Amino acid sequence: MKQVWDFKSFIFNFLLITVLILLLAPLLIVFISSFLDKAHLSWPFTDFTFRWYVEVFQRETWVKALTNSLIVAGLTTLLTLLICTPAAYAITRKTNTLTGFLRTFFMSPIMIPPVMIGISLLIFLSNFGLRGSYFDLALGHTLWAGPIVLITMIAVFERINPIYNYAAQDLGANSLEIFWQITLPMVKPGLIASAFLAFVLSTQEFIIGLFLYTPKTIILPVEIYTAIRYELSPAISAISVYLVGIVIIGLFVIDRLIGIENVSFSGKG
């Protein structure tokens, strides 16, 4: 029996492979160029070396920018969890006009262009003398990462069987006790995954950081942008590979703890 040739499947697979190539080709070029044994990027690639991965940590500007990025990412993670965890819990507890408003309110920053967020924060924070601190960068990154973390935490909370809360209420526990002693331990993997998600998003964010940084608080993506304007060195590719590595590690942890699908999906499971 002859196999029927499926034209639609062929077109779909062809387009899928094409998109994957277009998405992965730039990353592959950056990865290969980070091993280039030349002081500048050029074709063809001949000799390869690991020295650029070591040199990244020998440059004071790179180390400073990386340290700043880690500090800002840590503050962003803390702020995001403190804001989004209670908000997600409140939204999933009841469905009414107030929770609908809260959901829309907390999701609104993701619909605003990062340029507008950066300009608005720059003007607002300058009036209060907070310009040039780690806090202003962390606040900007929280507005960017917060909605995505909120979606994740809503999905996590909605997957908790409410029977545990009802049982705790029957035993005399109040709402605060239920949250701290029942709900929070059950969502611990989701909290850890959300922390990694916020951390990764903060380390990769560029546009808001471009508006809010100062020479003392410059973060790694902005430092890369500044450096690439004056030199095209394999060291830039090497530090970019480090950033990609942070993303891969974060995605792996999130997938192991709650599943990648729960980052983009929120619904009753």
125 pLDDT above the threshold of 70:
yes
What are the structural domain ranges in the chain?
A: 63-264
pLDDT digits (tens, 9 = 90+) for 171-202: 777 777 777 777 888 888 888 888 888 998 89
Which two tokens mark 221?
């993506």
Nearest alpha-carbon partner for 226 in 112, 59, 53: 59
Q: What is the pLDDT of residue 258?
A: 66
In this predicted structure, which of 31-40, 62-71, 106-115, 141-150 has the lowest mean pLDDT? Answer: 31-40
CATH-assigned architecture of domain 63-264: Orthogonal Bundle (1.10)
- HEC letters along the chain: CCCCCCHHHHHHHHHHHHHHHHHHHHHHHHHHHCCECCCCCCCCCCCECCHHHHHHHHCHHHHHHHHHHHHHHHHHHHHHHHHHHHHHHHHHHCCCHHHHHHHHHHHHHHHCCHHHHHHHHHHHHHHCCCCCCHHHHHHHHHHHHHHHHHHHHHHHHHCCCCHHHHHHHHCCCCHHHHHHHHHHHHCHHHHHHHHHHHHHHHHHCCHHHHHHCCCCCCCHHHHHHHHHCCCCCHHHHHHHHHHHHHHHHHHHHHHHHCCCHHHHCCCCC
Q: What's residue 75's pLDDT?
A: 94
pLDDT beyond 80 at 224: yes
pLDDT at residue 267 greater than cutoff 70: no
Is the pLDDT assigned to residue 153 strictly greater than 80? Answer: yes
This prediction has a pTM of 0.79
Give 76's pLDDT tier (boundaries 50, 70, 90): very high
Query: What percent of the chain is modeled with pLDDT above 70?
Result: 90
d(CA 77, CA 192): 10
Query: What is the model's pLDDT at position 43?
Result: 63
Query: Taking the chain, what is the end-to-end CA distance rounded to the nearest angstrom?
Result: 43
What mean pLDDT do residues 215-231 have? 85
Q: What is the pLDDT of residues 79-118, one digit of tens each?
A: 999 998 888 888 887 777 777 777 788 788 888 888 888 8
**pLDDT greater than 80 at residue 254:** no
Torsion on CA atoms 172, 176, 180, 182, rounded to nearest 10: 40
What pLDDT, on a 0 to 100 scale, did the predictor assign at position 48? 75
pLDDT digits (tens, 9 = 90+) for 36-65: 777 666 666 667 778 888 888 888 888 898
Q: Who wins on pLDDT, 261 or 150? A: 150
Torsions phi, psi of 50, nearest 5? -100, 5
| pLDDT attached to residue 74 | 92
